[in-house]
Amino acid sequence: MTERERYVKTLLFEKVDKVFFSPGGPRESTLKRWHSEGLPEGVNWFEYLCEKIGIGIVKRRGEEIYPSISFDMIPPFEEKILEHKDGHYLVQDIKGAIVEISDNFDFTYLRSAKDFVTRKWHKFPVENLSDWEEMKKRYNPESPERIPSDIKEIGEKIKDRDYIISIGIPGPFWQLRDWCGFENLCILMATEPDFVMEMANFWNAFVLTVLDRIEGHIVFDSVVINEDMAYKEKSMISPAMARKFLVPVWSAWSSKLKEMGCKVIILDSDGYIGELIPLWIEAGINCCSPIEVAAGNDIVEFRKIYGRNMAYVGGIDKRAIAKGGDIMKREVYRVVLPLLKEGGYIPGCDHGVPPDISWQNFLDYSKLLAQLQGWI
């Protein structure tokens, strides 16, 4: 079986020779620690890990091509430092927000989640209808930069690939929060629901139009809807609000993606997701990640409740991996053994791998996963 076949079939509860191997990915600070503990500099950490634990990596056929599909604002805002004081930068980021971060970091840490960085938001680009009218101008779905000009040719080249192509789409809650800010958005949901609905409908139509431009050329192995809409023990908005503002968007996207041939639609959210899973299933989403244990999630229990309506990626307590030894083993056995029997599960760390997980403990954990998943 190819990597691509294992990935899709695993998440669709279909039979595989061995379960797709994905123990979790380190952030920048984690790699810095690992390099001090035996991971050589200048190597691909995942390939080296596989070599160390005895997994043979099969070389992929031909050239790997990953088409660039953009749902970003075009043009972005100018990144600029507004103030530097007391060890902090006050900056305007690429999305137009005014953000405060430590001067140990630069703009690249705001563009992507390459490490664990605390930040404080001071202002967001959409505060009123006038701001909203200006923001919409940055989201023309027909902008040529959004889709490669040779998308048809790329589609032909990657049609019979043996590797995975997945894209991420900012979900409606994620995107509206970027525009308005979390607290402001929650207030607007209660006080100006028509305005929130207008923004949600705009985002829905924008994404669908971009997908229209791809349809018939590329079949994605999975699409990840990024939402991050839960705290520890509770979702950030009520299920009723999620049903009103978000479910229609998720449902429209799920239908479109399935029409395009994508069989795995993943909802990515931190925090406690127990209140939200029923809504995701209703909206046609069939997988979720990373299922953080510290937030109160337990995928063993979720599987009992939701059966094969939901697949999972992640779900192994990062705190247990950090402790290593028998504590790690008990957690892995607790989660992995019952779910592997049924399928619909790719085991992994329940978020980005943090720097309190040593290289040796990660090796031990990964080797145990590889044994249970049929790799060694």
Q: Which residue reads 């079939």 in tokens?
A: 9
Backbone phi, then psi, for 61, in 5-degree steps?
Answer: -75, 130
> Could you give the 3-state DSSP secondary structure of residue 372?
helix
- The pair of three-digit structure tokens given for residue 362, joined into one six-digit string: 């990660």
Identify the CA nearest to 146 among candidates 257, 71, 256. Answer: 71
CA distances from 345 to 4, 113, 311 (A): 15, 24, 6
pLDDT band of 114, cuts 50, 70, 90: confident
CB 88 within 8 A of CB 81: no
With tokens 């510290």, the residue in question is 294
The predicted structure's pLDDT at residue 57: 76
How far from 27 is each of 39, 354, 355, CA to CA, in Å?
A: 14, 7, 8
Please tell me the predicted confidence (pLDDT) of residue 291. Answer: 97
> Is pLDDT at 60 greater than 80 in this prediction?
no
For residue 115 the two structure tokens come to 């490490």
Q: What tens digit of pLDDT does each residue of 151-184 get?
A: 999 999 999 999 999 999 999 999 999 999 999 9
Q: Which of 183, 64, 178, 65 lies closest to 132 in space, CA to CA? A: 178
Asked if pLDDT for residue 21 goes beyond 90, the answer is: yes
With H, G, I as helix, E, B as strand and everything else as coil, classify residue 290: strand
The CA dihedral of 46, 349, 166, 274, to the nearest 10 degrees, is 180
**Distance between CA atoms of residues 33 and 306, nearest Å:** 39
For residue 3, give the nearest of 55, 46, 56, 58 by alpha carbon. Answer: 58
Judge whether residue 13 has pLDDT over 90: yes
Q: How confident is the model at residue 101 (pLDDT cuts 50, 70, 90)?
A: very high
Going along the chain from its start, the domains and CATH numbers come out as 3-75+125-372 (3.20.20.210), 78-124 (no CATH)
Check if the beta carbon of residue 33 is closer than 8 Å to that of residue 355.
yes
pLDDT band at 309 (very low <50, low <70, confident <90, very high): very high
The pLDDT tens digits of the residues spanning 227-239 come to: 999 999 899 999 9
- Beta-bridged to residue 88, according to DSSP, are 85, 102
Residues 127-141: what's their mean pLDDT?
97
Provide the token pair at 222. Answer: 């999975």
- Of 60, 61, 51, nearest in space to 375 by CA: 51
* For the chain, percent of residues with pLDDT exceeding 90: 94
Position 109, amino acid:
Y
Residues, the chain:
376
- Between CA 135 and CA 129 the distance in angstroms is 10
Mean pLDDT of 255-275: 97
Q: Which residue has the tokens 């985002």?
A: 203
